[in-house]
Amino acid sequence: MKSNKKVWIISLCSIILTIILIVLSLSWSQRNVNNLTKWHNAKMSPVIMIPGSSASVNRFDRLVKQLNRHRKNPHSLLKVKVMKDDKIQYSGRIRPNDNEPIIVVGFENNHDGYSNIQQQARWFNLAFRELTKQYNFNNFKAIGHSNGGLIYTYFLEHYYARYQQTERIKKLMMIGSPYNFNEKSMNHQTKMLADFIKYRRRLPKNMNVYLVAGTQTFTSDGLVPLNSVLTGRYIYQNQVKHFTTIMVSGDNAQHSDLPQNTQIVDLINRYILDHAQKVRNKQNTPYINDQAK
């Protein structure tokens, strides 16, 4: 009887020990998977794009298609839309092992105006915070078209300080961004431009900035005055590691066509993407004014 009881106790202890070992093994495996995921995501360097006013998260579809042309490993495309109530909607996905996905962040309220740009920068901050939590990347590149460049500027001056120790912005390209809205002269500064200049010392210092302007008529891109775009130099020049102004002309230099302009696709490949790919450019050569800090 005692012998049977002893055998039963030993068997019970063995079962309990086996269960403990299984639980510990599963826990170790889960931690190992999480660590591997974090290790992979630490290698990730996404390109985060913001469209301009009245544009949706689909604004860059043609641009992404052109960037992915002839690539063996095309960039994934994740679209993020921030609603007026601060909720976030996702479409698309980031492919496993894609170290340079493209993420587009848009807004339900995509209207023009300085107050809306301030609100959109706040919404972008909400999306950016969630993206960093989910994907754990430690650096990224940025592209803003039209008001998207203004949203990025406000974000960098008012929100980015809390991230700069853990998520470094490497490169920023602004395309046709109206820093002085429709004003053609610096003699008439909008409040937005004055505020951007006032807080420019908050900009992250260790990034390369590319200011791109379309010159369909050599005074504007058909919508935004050339001088309004170029006033961005009063914000970024001598504040960042490297600042470059670029002017493109010829076909598709009109404001709404700029994101899919062949010259700009070439510029993104050369200056923004980590793994550049040459683009056959049959258009005019852009004018580039390259200035180090």
Structural domain total, the chain: 2
Q: Are residues 12 and 68 in the same domain?
A: no
Q: Are residues 65 and 180 in the same domain?
A: yes
Q: Are residues 216 and 183 in the same domain?
A: yes
Q: Are residues 159 and 198 in the same domain?
A: yes
Q: Are residues 15 and 53 in the same domain?
A: no
Q: Are residues 213 and 140 in the same domain?
A: yes
Q: Are residues 254 and 273 in the same domain?
A: yes
The pLDDT, as a whole number, for residue 117 is: 97
DSSP 222-238: SSSBHHHHHTTHHHHTT
- Residue 49, Cβ density class (10 Å: 0-12 exposed, 13-18 middle, ≥19 buried): buried
**How far is residue 293's CA from residue 288's CA, in Å, rounded to a whole number?**
16
Domain containing residue 98: CATH number:
3.40.50.1820
Q: Are residues 20 and 91 in the same domain?
A: no
Q: Are residues 198 and 239 in the same domain?
A: yes
Q: Are residues 25 and 159 in the same domain?
A: no
Regions of the chain with pLDDT less than 70: 1-14, 17-18, 20-42, 275-285, 287, 289-293
Instruction: Supply φ then ψ for residue 230, to 5 degrees.
Output: -70, -15
Q: Are residues 150 and 11 in the same domain?
A: no
Q: Are residues 22 and 49 in the same domain?
A: no
Q: Name the nearest CA neighbour of 237 among 158, 163, 166, 179.
A: 179
Domain residue limits at 25 = 1-43
The pLDDT, as a whole number, for residue 44 is: 95
**How far is residue 71's CA from residue 76's CA, in Å, rounded to a whole number?**
12
Which contiguous run of DSSP H or E holds residue 49? strand 47-50
The pLDDT, as a whole number, for residue 280 is: 47
Q: Name the nearest CA neighbour of 248 among 233, 232, 268.
A: 268
- Please list, in sequence order, all residues whose beta carbon lies within 8 angstroms of the beta carbon of residue 130, skipping any fewer than 6 positions away: 88
